[in-house]
Amino acid sequence: MAKNSFISVISQEEKKENTGSVEFQIVSFSNKIRILTSHLELHRKDFLSQRGLRKILGKRQRLLSYLAKKNRIRYKEFIRQLDIRESKTR
């Protein structure tokens, strides 16, 4: 499903070594977001899933802002690979 296509962004060798890396966590959250979004298209009144989606979106946003602060070039390349929008700066 969608999981396989996004896991390929991070190589298999890196995945085994660095499951706690920021990039891996962002890919994992992105997969969960895509799954929950497709679930909510069918079940519009599932409010607990909506809450879970908002929590995961916030976690991913915090990780993306951390990555942007630490390494801007890696951040730009990573959001381009995942095909997500760049976060707004405050």
pLDDT per residue over 57-82, tens digit each?
A: 999 999 999 999 999 999 999 999 99
Say what the pLDDT of residue 5 is: 54
Domains of the chain, start order: 22-82 (1.10.287.10)
Cβ atoms of 69 and 61 within 8 Å: the answer is no
Q: Is the pTM of this model over 0.85?
A: no
Sign of the dihedral defined by the CA atoms of residues 21, 24, 27, 29, in that order: negative
> How many beta carbons lie within 10 A of that of residue 21, not counting itself?
14
pLDDT per residue over 3-16, tens digit each?
A: 455 555 555 555 56
Burial class (CB in 10 A: 0-12, 13-18, 19+), 12: exposed
